[in-house]
Amino acid sequence: MIRRVRLHTAFVPMAAAFDHAMRSRRSAASLLVEIELAGTRGWGEGAPRDYVTGETLDGAVRAVQACDPGELAERIEWRDFDSAVGSIAQLPLTGLVDGPSAVAAVEIALLDAVCRHFSRPLADVLRVLDPPARLRRDGPTSISLVIHLSRDVATVLDALTPRALAALRHVKIKVADPARAVDRLTAAQDRLPAGTRVSLDVNGAWTVEEAKKAAGELDGVGWVEEPLPPRSWPELARLRRATGLPVMLDESCTGPADLHTAATSGAASHINVRLSKCGGFLAAARLALRADELGVGCQLGVHVAEVGPLWAAGRTLATAWGLWQTVEAGRADEWFPMPLTTPAFTVDRSLHRVGPLAGPGTGIEPTGELLRHTRCTATWEPDGGWRRNT
């Protein structure tokens, strides 16, 4: 049933940089997987980040080439939509493809192709997980405003219209220096309506001593994201016990094992779920369901500079389920002035909301602008296997 697979690397310059404590990003770097069936094709994306999962873009390409798409096709029941989705959900992808971003690219491409083949939206895939009725929703959802490290908090918030400021439900502020963190939090709290939550994202930059000292001054913070170096489990647990600080884990939590450790040790009150670092659409959804069962709050996050299939699949999770403490949508409309997808990335920034995407699969297709910045590195066909493109 799989007629062809193509691997593309995408490098797209950003109109503006995005900065946090550990990195400054000025271009997108994604792996795109294109899976062609009879009469249709699906697109998937992975965003390898060495500081999150240890992956590189070249390594992710090699990981996908090491798997056999023919073997995947043989394990999929193609007779109807539910059978196909059910069999994809049971694929041991982490054993067949090495690395979560590579897995995510393959899985999203498979799901997109199957959904398009049967003319179904990606949201219908979630039925295979049988989520509780209380978690299901369908429609627009509120999104966070993220203020990166090089932006002044007061300047950003003062530039909003009264309507946009009143509509804000969550503001996430990137921080590095602990002393400046208090100032940035206060600047936001002084300007935001009552009930608007503020979180700080440290990206693992603080020491234990710095975190303990800062915790006593962060009155009213919603949570602090990744305050210590990743997977500092005992230190995180002691920090929370000593200070009561709400802690969200991002780089520290990429799958079920991390979530189990975080929950049982008391290291976190929240986790940040991002599709690429978690291994795809279904893996991210499963992780969120398990966190909900454990009483751990979830943010649906994004990687900086997702170019298409990743943010579109995330948009489906954001608008189909209501378990998220907050949702990040990204800023592809500002980073990439020329649309990379059809339809183009859109956000209602006057109300800080996004709506579901229409159409089969993820609901988006790559534009010529995106493909202009990609290189097809390898092609697989049933009769010849993988062939590197020069």
Check whether residue 161 and residue 286 sit in a common domain: yes
Check whether residue 245 and residue 294 sit in a common domain: yes
Check whether residue 16 and residue 45 sit in a common domain: yes
Check whether residue 343 and residue 239 sit in a common domain: yes
Check whether residue 99 and residue 197 sit in a common domain: no
Check whether residue 160 and residue 292 sit in a common domain: yes
Check whether residue 356 and residue 370 sit in a common domain: no
CATH number for position 9: 3.30.390.10
- Structure token digits, residue 117: 């083949």
Check whether residue 316 and residue 230 sit in a common domain: yes
pLDDT score at 359:
84
Q: How many structural domains are present in the chain?
A: 2
pLDDT score at 22:
66
CATH number for position 235: 3.20.20.120
Check whether residue 133 and residue 122 sit in a common domain: no
Q: List, for the chain, all residue ranges whose pLDDT scores fall below the cut of 50.
A: none
pLDDT score at 21:
63
Check whether residue 322 and residue 226 sit in a common domain: yes
- Structure token digits, residue 13: 């310059």
C-alpha to C-alpha distance for 351 and 126, rounded to whole angstroms:
27
Range of the domain at 377: 4-127+366-388
Check whether residue 141 and residue 255 sit in a common domain: yes
Check whether residue 103 and residue 163 sit in a common domain: no
